[in-house]
């Protein structure tokens, strides 16, 4: 299993950038798909981006394509989300999660971090 812990959230102005990091304990980290999800107040948690265990495959929600980049460093058991050209609608609590099958569906992720708040002001 993996135990993700997110960091890097904060307040940023629209058009700015922010990088989220996720540190995940576990000897089998490279076996897991890792994904980022977000949840805004009053809305359901939604998929943002994910990366396969070896880093070969990446997937993005249409709303963030071209703006966000997911990456991982298996030697350090970390996964990052570089967020550029942020918009107010990106405001949410961002969660890092892992799953052996994974992909883009929230149902496929079994291990979740505590979340980190991202607030984008206009």
* Burial grade of 87 (CB within 10 A; 0-12, 13-18, 19 or more): middle
Confidence band for 98, pLDDT divided at 50, 70 and 90 = very high
Helix/strand/coil (H/E/C) assignment for every residue in 28-45 = CHHHCEEEEEEECCCCCC
* pLDDT(83) > 90: yes
Compute the average pLDDT of residues 49-77. Answer: 97
Q: Does residue 96 contact residue 110 with C-beta atoms inside 8 Å? A: no
Q: What is the per-residue pLDDT for 31?
A: 93
Q: Residue 102: what pLDDT?
A: 79
Using a pLDDT cut of 70, give the percent of the chain over it: 100
Cross-strand bridge partners of residue 60: 49
CA distances from 69 to 6, 48, 92, 101, 107 (A): 16, 10, 17, 21, 22
At 24 the pLDDT is: 92
């Amino acid at each position: 299993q993996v135990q993700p812990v997110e960091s890097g959230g904060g307040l940023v102005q629209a058009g700015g950038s922010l990088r989220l990091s996720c540190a995940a304990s576990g000897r089998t980290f490279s076996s897991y798909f890792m994904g980022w999800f977000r949840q805004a107040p009053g809305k359901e948690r939604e998929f943002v981006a994910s990366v396969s265990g070896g880093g070969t495959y990446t997937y993005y929600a249409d709303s963030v394509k071209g703006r966000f980049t997911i990456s991982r460093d298996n030697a350090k058991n970390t996964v990052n989300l570089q967020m550029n050209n942020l918009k107010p609608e990106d405001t949410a609590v961002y969660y890092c999660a892992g799953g052996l099958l994974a992909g883009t569906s929230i149902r496929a992720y079994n291990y979740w971090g505590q979340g980190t708040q991202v607030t984008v002001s206009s």
